[in-house]
Amino acid sequence: MPANITAVAHFVPPDVFPNSYFESRLDTSDEWIRTRTGIKERRFLLEGATSDLIVPAAKECLEQRGLTPEDIDCVIVCTVTPDNMFPSTAATVQRKLGLTKAWGFDLSAACSGFLYGLMTGAALVESKQVRRVLVCGADKMSSILNPDDRSTFILFGDGAGVVLIEHSEDNNIGIKDSILKMDGKGGDFLYMKSGGSANPPSHETVDNKEHYAVQDGQTVFKSAVVGMADVSAEIMEKNNLTADDITWLVPHQANLRIIDATARRMGLSPDKVMINIDRYGNTTAGTIPICLSELWQQGKLKYGDGVILASFGAGYTWGSIYLRWGMK
Ligand code: ACO
């Protein structure tokens, strides 16, 4: 019996920061940001933590299925901006939501976090270890952005998306296949230098701004264009899919040019590609479930639709998942 997404919801904070906000603070322009990335605005959470982004979306998932918190067996939080080093944000979410019967854990795979989490949650359900698992993709990127660095500050936003995974009786729908990859050599190009056990925080690390995300944008861009396009083509080939079999490509929202290259490689027309980077920027683990939630809310996902999810991010980590949409 396949694992299936049976509820999906998202939450983004109310405070909107258009590109013009950065024009007055950094040597940048709305035109540069829009043409290089596709971003027009993003949301930042002014008060609260990553768990506060997750809780409203998770509550909505429970409501969609008419479940109580006790019905959830497991919660996976995919994030690189946990509330604390420990306890896990999963434990904090469990407490805040009163998921008294759930165990859970955090999963760190940056922009690919949601795909890693979805695959893990699906495997737990398929192997009957759990009946219901909440997979949360969430990041408060504003907590690790250097406001003086124009090459990263403009790229990211805060947000969360949550899905519920359960068994399906219908073999035609659900999570069909996944290809997940990692190359640790990419760690030189996208990282946060200090704050972990390698370089514990000190006055010096903070003075040197080592608690902020650093990216060699061009190097990551070149790897992302190839990695996300290749893995998306690979999952199509592996499952004998043509462009006609796919209703939606739901890609990680890091850069419109990376998304376009992936769609071209898959032979998909632009109307089959979910895009909301213009409104939210890159919310890291949040992008894909936020996209799924918006597609669902807009009535653009139908039972049985072929969907490919694709991501590329820090690690490097990247991958794709093929599913048949299973919500009515
Ligand atoms: N405004 C104006 N100019 C800027 C800005 C800015 N905000 N940022 C950089 N520039 C300048 C650079 O300094 C450089 O100037 P120079 O030529 O004088 O040196 C010039 O613009 C070009 O910079 P590039 O970095 O080459 O610009 P590029 O076209 O590559 O775009 C970007 C940068 C948008 C970051 C792109 O490289 C990218 O999208 N990279 C991949 C991002 C990604 O996929 N990350 C992985 C996921 S994130 C995660 O896992 C957490």
If one counts the domains in the chain, the total is 2
Question: 269 with 284, same domain?
Answer: yes
Question: 149 with 199, same domain?
Answer: no
Tokens in use for 123? 């495997």
Distance in Å, CA 7 to ligand 1 centroid: 36
Distance in Å, CA 321 to ligand 1 centroid: 28
**Residue nearest atom 11 of ligand 1, based on CA coordinates:** 151
Question: 253 with 304, same domain?
Answer: yes
Here the CATH number for the domain that contains residue 229 is 3.40.47.10
**Residue nearest atom 15 of ligand 1, based on CA coordinates:** 151
**Tens digit of pLDDT per residue, the chain (328 long)?**
799 999 999 999 999 999 999 999 999 999 999 999 999 999 999 999 999 999 999 999 999 999 999 999 999 999 999 999 999 999 999 999 999 999 999 999 999 999 999 999 999 999 999 999 999 999 999 999 999 999 999 999 999 999 999 999 999 999 999 999 999 999 999 999 999 999 999 999 999 999 999 999 999 999 999 999 999 999 999 999 999 999 999 999 999 999 999 999 999 999 999 999 999 999 999 999 999 999 999 999 999 999 999 999 999 999 999 999 999 9
Question: 142 with 184, same domain?
Answer: no
For residue 220 and ligand 1, the question of a CB distance below 6 A is answered with yes
Quick one: which atom of ligand 1 is closest to the CA of 28? 1
Question: 136 with 55, same domain?
Answer: yes
For residue 218 and ligand 1, the question of a CB distance below 6 A is answered with yes
Question: 248 with 140, same domain?
Answer: no
Q: From CA 142, how far away is CA 149, in angstroms rounded?
A: 12
Question: 193 with 149, same domain?
Answer: no
Q: From CA 215, how far away is CA 144, in angstroms rounded?
A: 12
Tokens in use for 187? 């760690």
* Enclosing domain of residue 121: 3-167
Distance in Å, CA 41 to ligand 1 centroid: 17
Whether the CB-CB separation of 247 and 273 falls below 8 Å is answered with no
Question: 125 with 85, same domain?
Answer: yes
pTM, full prediction: 0.97
Measured CA angle at 63 (ends 13, 247), to 5 deg: 75
Question: 13 with 157, same domain?
Answer: yes
Catalytic sites, residue numbers:
111, 252, 282
Any idea which residue has 């509820």 for tokens?
7
Distance in Å, CA 220 to ligand 1 centroid: 9
Residue among 79, 116, 221 to mutate when testing ligand 1 (max atoms within 8 A of CB): 221
| DSSP H or E stretch at residue 198 | none
Question: 207 with 131, same domain?
Answer: no
Contacts of 275 (CB under 8 A, 6+ apart): 38, 253, 256, 259
Tokens in use for 42? 């993003």
Question: 160 with 200, same domain?
Answer: no
For residue 224 and ligand 1, the question of a CB distance below 6 A is answered with yes
Question: 27 with 144, same domain?
Answer: yes
